Amino acid sequence: MAFFGVDIMLDWLVHSHSKVSLPEYGLLLLTFLFVMFLGVIEGCAAGVAASAVIFIIVYSSTPAVDVRVGCSSTAMRSFDERAALLKLRDQLACLELRGYLFFGAALQVSDKLLREVREQGSKWVVLDFTHVAGIDSTSARALSKLVVALKTDSVCIAYCSSAGKPQVQRLLKENGAFPLDEDLKFGRAVITDNVDEALAWCERGALREANVPPPGTPAGPLILASSPDMRSRSEDPKTSEAARRRKLTVLLREFVAPLPGSLRNIDEEAVREETRRLENLAARLEDRYFKPDEALFVAGEPCHDFMLLVSGTAVSDPAANSAKKPSIWAAAGKFTFEPGSLLGEVDFHLGGERSYTARAGPEGCQVAALTRATVERIEAEDPRLALLVQRLALRSVCLLTEATVGLYVRGGAGTSPPAAQSQLRA
């Protein structure tokens, strides 16, 4: 029995040293001493209590929140909006909460977090509860303190992924950390299903506050009905067509605008010639109107055209994407398309099937479509205009690549690769 006891002591007190971490080994020795001086039952109980204390200390010191500044959504926006957002992204901060938020993490989500947000000068904050497993009342009160302080600083807050966690949402509401109805009504806060929608909401607000004009807004006033039913009966068809063509020309021009340093910036004749070609292209586009949640196109069907989003919004449908044709779109989730973006241009130029499903947003949308038959006629009649169409698609693919980075890198300088940033004009 003595040799048996020695063998056990060697296994647990000597040989185990290389198999466990230093804190665990210290806890093992401490429990052994408790057993020697207090007895087996009392020593084991004291060891369990010591383990609980060490667990609380270690878990509370584990980072419960990650502050990411300069985040980007995957919303497909116009060229000018993307260029403007490169300057505005420092105003956006994403607070990624994780794990179980208990009293040990309360300090991390209150004073320390508020200090970091204020140092960054963020005006739009996303509270991301995607990776939160649970929360206690102490952390909920700490978040309430943070929210009140941010409101005092006139910071707008987007809450994401809390609706699917009833216990978390209940404690946030009871402790005053959830947005009030008046905050939601006046646009000072929003509740979304995922962080991408929350970031897109913040970007829209930042663009609006920076007075960045909506896509397609010309220097002078422009009147464009959002649907055929809304057009005035007394409206002059010629005036309406001229306004339509002018708006489409402005939207298209964002994709072919000269980059900084280009000689085309000072060649007025080249600009006028390019504008005439864009007006010619705008006249060939087909207007289409879609009701809320109506499919613009479906994954797996032949791709005979690509579309310019004129007004409203559109979203990719992840459920339909995975069911019809598994692709990167199905894995990526939901993309948001804003006015001025192109849809389906990659599939169109690859000559295959649709790789994703797109649906109109909650307010419906208007698009201008360029069909394959029209492109073939353009190639035969005006090769330089056909080249312009290819430039449109190329610039759009560059923007698509830049937006997709938001799926993999959230925040900091890594949000947009330098090569992609250099393509966007200031």
Please tell me the predicted confidence (pLDDT) of residue 360.
92
Note whether 274 and 356 are same-domain residues.
yes
Note whether 198 and 278 are same-domain residues.
no
Note whether 329 and 283 are same-domain residues.
yes
Is residue 221 in a domain?
no
Note whether 134 and 272 are same-domain residues.
no
Please tell me the predicted confidence (pLDDT) of residue 320.
56
Please tell me the predicted confidence (pLDDT) of residue 133.
83
Please tell me the predicted confidence (pLDDT) of residue 271.
76
Note whether 70 and 169 are same-domain residues.
yes
Last residue of a domain, one of 11, 37, 61: 61
Is residue 222 in a domain?
no
Please tell me the predicted confidence (pLDDT) of residue 407.
47
Is residue 214 in a domain?
no
Please tell me the predicted confidence (pLDDT) of residue 222.
36
Note whether 264 and 294 are same-domain residues.
yes
Domain count of the fold of the chain: 3
Q: Which residues are within 8 A (CB) of 348 and not within 5 positions of it... i.e. 6 or more apart?
A: 303, 304, 305, 306, 372, 393
Last residue of a domain, one of 12, 38, 61: 61
Point out which residues pair with 288 in neighbouring strands.
367
Last residue of a domain, one of 32, 61, 90: 61
Which tokens hold the place of 351?
């000559």
Note whether 169 and 242 are same-domain residues.
no
Note whether 250 and 330 are same-domain residues.
yes
* CA-based end-to-end distance of the chain: 81
Residue-range definition of the domain harbouring residue 246? 235-421
Contact 392, 78 (CB under 8 A): no
Q: Is 15 buried (19+), middle (13-18) or exposed (0-12) by CB count in 10 A? A: exposed
Please tell me the predicted confidence (pLDDT) of residue 333.
55
Note whether 345 and 263 are same-domain residues.
yes
Query: Domain holding 248: CATH number?
Result: 2.60.120.10
Note whether 15 and 90 are same-domain residues.
no
Please tell me the predicted confidence (pLDDT) of residue 416.
38
Is residue 220 in a domain?
no
Exposure of 49 in the CB half-sphere (CA atoms within 13 A): 7
Please tell me the predicted confidence (pLDDT) of residue 9.
72
Is residue 77 in a domain?
yes
* Average pLDDT, consecutive stretches of 10 residues, N- to C-terminus, the chain (426 residues): 72 73 80 84 87 72 73 74 81 85 65 80 89 83 86 90 81 86 88 85 89 64 36 50 86 75 62 86 94 92 93 78 49 71 89 89 92 94 91 82 55 38 35
Q: Does pTM surpass 0.75?
A: no
Note whether 53 and 179 are same-domain residues.
no
Note whether 54 and 162 are same-domain residues.
no
Is residue 215 in a domain?
no
Of 87, 8, 99, residue with least CA distance to 58: 99
Is residue 94 in a domain?
yes
Is residue 304 in a domain?
yes
Query: Domain holding 143: CATH number?
Result: 3.30.750.24
